[in-house]
Amino acid sequence: MNVIKENTRQTIIDISIKLFAQSGYANVSVRDIAKEVGIKPASLYYHFDNKQTLYLASIKESFSLKASVIAEVLNRQEPAELKLKHYVYKLTELASEDEPFCRLMQREMLDGDEQRLKYLAEKVFQEQFDAVGDLVKEIDPQCDPHMSVISILSLVLYHMETRPFQMFLSGYKKEHNQVDFIAEHVFKLLMNGLPESK
């Protein structure tokens, strides 16, 4: 009867990612997920032990995909400054096109327990975090790489997080939501600070 779907488990995860990202863990019921998958609620329990397990599988899936895509930019042979520029652009692009990932990330920052945050930090982000840390240290050997990397992430991700809010603040233009525009702004700021003393 089911022609398209050959892997229900994967479908469940994909839909769960979408729904959990949209509305948060508590606001999505197993019935909501089942309905969208086209399955009865009880059938979810054939594939996953419980709701928590399904949620965990979803964030693992969503997060591990991203990390690998980013890695590519950081492994190129380029001068540090250019590499940073490409990283900023890639990260902005990624954050822009995969909203569920961003929202899940935000939600984890808010509600993720210690164990989950530790897992995410060590298994998913550490490698990328360290690589960018090395990068900024090349640009300024005296800087605090930990703080600097967080700042880079701040600039990119917060611009994304606040997108639905920005349009109500003064001076908003359509360009402010475009990937290249944001990436360029961030990169310039990272290089020169606010005063554009070229």
Partner DNA sequence: AAATACCTAACAACTGTTAGTTAGGCTGAG
Partner DNA sequence: CTCAGCCTAACTAACAGTTGTTAGGTATTT
Shortest distance, CB of residue 109 to DNA, whole angstroms?
22
Q: Footprint of DNA on this chain (CB under 7 A)?
A: 2, 5, 8, 28-32, 38-47, 49-52
Contact call for residue 179 and its own copies (CB under 8 A): no
How remote is the C-alpha of 109 from its chain's centroid?
11
Which option in its own copies, DNA, none does residue 148 bind, with CB closer than 5 to 8 A by kind?
A: its own copies
Contact call for residue 172 and its own copies (CB under 8 A): yes
Q: Which strand (E) or helix (H) includes residue 18?
A: helix 8-23
Which lies closer to its own copies via its Cβ, residue 3 or residue 195? 195
Which lies closer to its own copies via its Cβ, residue 15 or residue 136? 136
Q: Tokens 């990119």 — which residue?
A: 156
Q: Which strand (E) or helix (H) includes residue 156?
A: helix 145-161
Site string for its own copies, 21-60 (x = CB under 8 A): --xx-xx---------------------------------
Q: Which strand (E) or helix (H) includes residue 126?
A: helix 126-139
Q: Tokens 């940073």 — which residue?
A: 84
| Residue 184 structure tokens | 């360029």
